[in-house]
Each structure stands twice: as structure tokens, then as C-alpha cells.
Amino acid sequence: MPDLKINIAGVEWNNPVTTASGTFGFGEEYGQYFDLSALGAVCVKALSAVPRLGNPSPRIAETPMGILNSVGLQNPGVEYFKENYLAKLRTYDTKIIANLCGSSIDDYVKAAEMLGDCVDMLELNISCPNVKVGGMAFGTDPRSTEEITTAVKKVAKAPLIVKLSPNVTDVCEIAKAAEAGGADALSLINTLLGMKIDIHTRKPILKNNTGGLSGPAIKPVAVRMVSQVYHAVKLPLIGMGGISNGEDAIEFMLAGATAVAVGTAGFVNPYAWVDTVCGIEKYLVENKIEKVTDIVGQAELY
Amino acid sequence: MDCILTEKNKLADNIYDFKIKSTSLAENAKAGQFLHILCGGNGYLRRPISICEVIDGEYVRFIFQVKGEGTTALANANVGDTIDVLGPLGNGFSFEECDNVIVIGGGIGIFPLLEVTKRLGKKAIVLLGFRSAENVILEDEFAKYTDRIFVATEDGSCGYKGYITDLMRNILETNKVDRIYSCGPMPMMKAVSSVAVDKQIDTQVSLEERMGCGIGACVTCTCNINGGRKRVCKDGPVFSASEVEWDA
């Protein structure tokens, strides 16, 4: 049996697979399909200091091998999460990552303070393309990336992951800014800003007009960015963007990801997360690799 | 779960009637719940399709309209093929004791109401609205369970001429009704709801929205309920009409 354990920013996971924030709710729903202890970590839906209503429907549109979503960070707030979901999540043998969102630096700081050390890791969501204020605005400028990372790191009581946006000219520049701000790890990529128009009604499918593209369609972009960032910073990476199975996950790890997140694929196959863990293990067995960490960053670039 | 397609019929242009075999689906399915079906072809996501009928504790029947890539691929499935189904999902209609019931549906929204009518039997007054005579389907099947069945078409080519909701208003003037079950286009359900709320009749509506996971995790298929946003897939698709904010 190969060793699937990884260590990311000092936190040990049983295996390298987690959930992409926003695709897995707070674990309750998919917990009816499989045992969440099968995952290295569960990353919950974005949380803000105060509840958010999100955007009006329709909030989802199907695209070639993917989807656009414009949920807009709807969530019941940190307090509600702590009171209603945390205890249940803690019954599983898995790490818990809280994804943080907000409209201002103060919002993020407040959410991080409210969470304290009740989760194992924090993920700073400065890459959501679906909100008018905050969100991606912080993650597309290196100065504001560093500023918000520094501010949240100062109050964070758990290792801080910064989640990067692909909607930038140079993702390495943003990655370095997050590293300079004190990030303990990086996750990438968030969704790509996109749009779909119904040619019969001449209106966008999404009520928000635009949304974030996810699913297999974005995988090559995500692999490229993971590879670039791996060679640009020293921080461990959590790779995501279109991962549906073990083979996809291995590709991200070879590109430089220490861990991976599965998201949209779960809407098609509710077992995609556990299938990915099994697929990684199968690849390691077939290739006689003893430790999953041995493949991280081992892609042989030309 | 994989289910075998055991019967396939084309009911009208672009309308297909499928029967799949699954004891576990059939034992758990309730009127108003839906199946989340992997259609194949170029569609990426599953398609939510309402349960039309549960048969002999062993089969589930669903009827769908071909609209896009997913349903086109699904319509190409043949008897004997396996279909990947999640379900039954969502909350169905509830059936607390009541004596006089209107079941009102429009267009392709009538399908989940067949199982409702089956359950209510002669207590039900069934109102089915269509655009035109050539769109009228399933009338004879509803008639197996109740003899009070009325059809309206917008052009008057079959039954009452006008909207089915006009017919409902007329019926409410002469009949005491304590519950309404409804599924159909949003404007129809909104009209049903406004009459029902005025007359304080307990009304359940089945809503539709573009859906992702189908089980409540992705929070994309929301509707506006009582000042908040609820998930059609998990909190619905059946809601109390008095709680729905139709214009929000």
C-alpha cells in the first residue's frame, strides 16, 4: 500500500484530496453518499462574517465540458457555520478548511477572527468573479493581494491558504505577492470569468450576466498555472480546476501540486472525490511509487 | 445508480415516455420528487426530470421534452440500455387529510401530477392546460383516477377556450376546495397562487430552476422563499404557494 499522507503547511492530511469550496456545501449532502473520512480535507463553502444572500437565479449554465456559476458567495455566515455544521464535520477523520470571503479587508479579518482555531486551515478567497465588491478585485492586483494576506495572516490562528484567480495576466506575480504577505500555502485556480448567451432570447443565461467557468474545460489552464506557480514560489500548492478522477489529480501533482481539490465533477458523479483518492492510489501501485509526495513537481518540462 | 430502460414511447413531437426498472427507486419515490439523470451525449450535467408515476413497486416512469443536447441524447436511449440515475431527490407533495382538491397543471408541468392524482383518486378535480389541441397529452390516464377532469386550450381547439387558471376561478366559485396542487409554467403557477392565497386555500406548487448537483450542495438552483433563498432541489421542488415570492 503506497503512503498517501501529505503535509501541507504543517497540517497532515490522510491523503491529498479535498473539496473545491462552493461545490460541497458544508459536507452534509455528499456525506449521505460516502464517508467524509475518505478525504484528506473538506473545504467548506465560502463563509463571511455576516450572512450573504448571493445573486438571483439562474445561477448556473452548462457549457462544453463545464459549467458557469454565479452563486455570488451565498452563505449563512461564520456563526451559523460554527453552531450548525462544525460539530458534525468534526466527527469525521478529515481536516477542515474554511474558505473566507468578504467585501473589504476588515470583513475578511473579522471572519478569520470569528473562526479562530476551530478549523484546521483557512483559505482566503480573493478570487471569486461573481461579486461586485471584494472577491476577485483583491486577487487580481499584487499590492492588494499582499495587503489582504498580511492583514488576515496577522489574526489567523490556523495556516493560511490564499486562493488565486486565473483571471490575471501573470499568476506568478500574484502568487509571489501572497507569499510576501505571509501565506502558508496557495490554492489554484478559482473559476475563469465567462458568459453564455441564449441566441433565441438574446439574453445571457445567467441573471448576473457573467459567471465563473469550472469543470474539465478549464483543466489545461489550471495545470499550466500550477506548473508556473510551482516554479515561482516556495509554498506548497493545492491544485484544482477540472479534476474528475485520479489521473487528472496525478497530472496536477506532477505539475507541482502537493494536494488537489475536486469540485464540479461531483455534480455529475457524486463519488468523484473518493474515486479520485482510489485513482491516485492505483497509479502509485501500478508505477511502484511508495509515497504520493514523491511525484509532486516531477513533470519533466522541456 | 444504473437502471434498465424497460419501456420507451414517443407521446408527441419531442415528448418521450420512459419506464425504468429499480425497486429501490420505486420503493422510495414520492409524488413530486425528481430524478437527476445522466443523459450522455454532449451535455455535461445531469438533468432533473420529475417522476410521473411509480408502477408496481418496481418501476418508475418519467416523461420529458427534448429541449437541448442532454435530453436529445436521452431520447436516443433504447429499451435495454442502462440509465445512470440519482434519486429520488427533493421533497414531494404532502398529502395531509383533505376532501376537495384541485390538481392543476400546464403543458409539460402536468407529468408529476399524474402520481398525485393517482393517490387522490376521486377527491381530485383535475385541470389541465395546453396551448392547443395537438399539445394535449395524458388526459386519458388522468381520467383513470377521477371523472372530474377538465381541459383548457389557449386557442380553444380542445375543451375550454382560455387559460386553465380562468377555469379554476370558475370552479372555485361553485366548489368548496381545501387544497390545490400545481405544476406548470411560472406565470400559470403565479396566477394559481394569487387566487389561492386570496381564498386562503392551502396550495403546493412545484418549482423549476436550472440545477447543478441536485442534492443541495452547490446552491445554484435557488428561488425566493419568505425573504430568503431556498434550494429548489433540496428544500423543494414543492413549496407552499404562500411562501413563494414570484416577482423577487
Q: How far is B209 from chain A (nearest CA, A)?
A: 7
Of A104, A77, A55, whose CA–CA distance to A209 is shortest? A55
Query: Is B227 an 8 Å CB contact of chain A?
Result: no
Neighbours of A290 (CB within 10 A): 10
Cell 495556516 sits on residue: A159
Low-confidence ranges of chain B (pLDDT < 50): none
What pLDDT, on the 0 to 100 scale, is given for residue A241?
Answer: 98
Tell me: the pLDDT tens digits for A181-226? 999 999 999 999 999 999 999 999 999 999 999 999 999 999 999 9
Measured over the CA atoms of residue A274, residue A280, residue A283 and residue A286, the dihedral's sign is negative
Is the predicted pLDDT of residue A162 greater than 80, yes or no? yes
ipTM comes to 0.93
Query: Is B123 an 8 Å CB contact of chain A?
Result: no
How far apart CA B84 and CA B40 sit, in angstroms, is 9
What pLDDT, on the 0 to 100 scale, is given for residue A134?
Answer: 72
Provide the domain limits for residue A243: 6-57+71-196+213-295
CATH number of the domain that residue A141 is part of: 3.20.20.70
- Best A23, A28, A29, A214 member to test B by mutation, with max B CBs in 10 Å, is A29
Mean pLDDT of A43-70: 96
Degrees, nearest 5: CA angle B88-B92-B98: 145
Where is pLDDT greater, at B227 or A97? A97
Neighbours of A301 (CB within 10 A): 7
A66 domain-assigned? no
* Cα B152 off chain centre by: 18
What pLDDT, on the 0 to 100 scale, is given for residue B27?
Answer: 95
How far apart CA A184 and CA A181 sit, in angstroms, is 9
CA distances from A212 to A53, A218, A241 (A): 18, 11, 11
A203 domain-assigned? no
- Specify the DSSP element, H or E, that contains A292: none
What pLDDT, on the 0 to 100 scale, is given for residue B248?
Answer: 67
Interchain CB distance below 8 Å, B221 and A63: no
Contacts of A25 in chain B (CB under 8 A): 216-219
Type of residue numbered B209: E
Tell me: the pLDDT tens digits for A246-267? 999 999 999 999 999 999 999 9
Contacts of B228 in chain A (CB under 8 A): 53
Mean pLDDT of A132-152: 89
Interchain CB distance below 8 Å, A29 and B215: yes
Contacts of B216 in chain A (CB under 8 A): 25, 28-29
Instruction: Determine contact, residues B3/B83, Cβ cutoff 8 Å.
Output: yes
Cell 478522477 sits on residue: A245
Residue A95 grid coordinates: 481536516
A36 domain-assigned? yes
CATH number for B101-203: choose from 3.40.50.2020, 3.40.50.300, 3.40.1280.10, 3.40.50.80. Answer: 3.40.50.80
Secondary structure of A188-204 in the HEC alphabet?
Answer: ECCCEEEECEECCCCEE
Contacts of B73 in chain A (CB under 8 A): none
Written as one string, the DSSP assignment of B129-169 is EESSGGG--SHHHHTTT-S-EEEEETTSSSSEES-HHHHHH
Instruction: Break chain B into its structural domains and give their ranges.
Output: 2-89, 101-203
A230 domain-assigned? yes
CA distances from A299 to A41, A231, A244 (A): 25, 11, 20
Question: What does pLDDT average to over chain B?
Answer: 95
Type of residue numbered A280: I
Of B96, B71, B73, B84, whose CA–CA distance to B20 is shortest? B84
Q: Catalytic amino acids of A?
A: 128
B19 CB-near residues (< 8 Å, 6+ apart): B5, B6, B7, B8, B55, B59, B60, B61
Architecture of domain B2-89: Beta Barrel (2.40)
| Of B42, B43, B223, Cβ closest to residue A57 | B223
A271 domain-assigned? yes
Instruction: Determine contact, residues B63/B111, Cβ cutoff 8 Å.
Output: yes
| Of A56, A71, A270, Cβ closest to residue B219 | A71
Q: Nearest residue of A to residue B247 by CA position?
A: A56
Query: Is B229 an 8 Å CB contact of chain A?
Result: yes
How far apart CA B71 and CA B74 sit, in angstroms, is 5
Mean pLDDT of A231-248: 98
What pLDDT, on the 0 to 100 scale, is given for residue A127?
Answer: 85
Interchain CB distance below 8 Å, B210 and A59: yes
Our count of domains for chain A comes to: 1
Contacts of B70 in chain A (CB under 8 A): 62
Neighbours of A288 (CB within 10 A): 7
A261 domain-assigned? yes
Is the predicted pLDDT of residue A136 greater than 90, yes or no? no
A25 domain-assigned? yes
Q: Nearest residue of A to residue B215 by CA position?
A: A29
How far apart CA A181 and CA B150 sit, in angstroms, is 69
Interchain CB distance below 8 Å, A69 and B220: yes
Give burial (CB, 10 Å; 0-12/13-18/19+) of A285: exposed
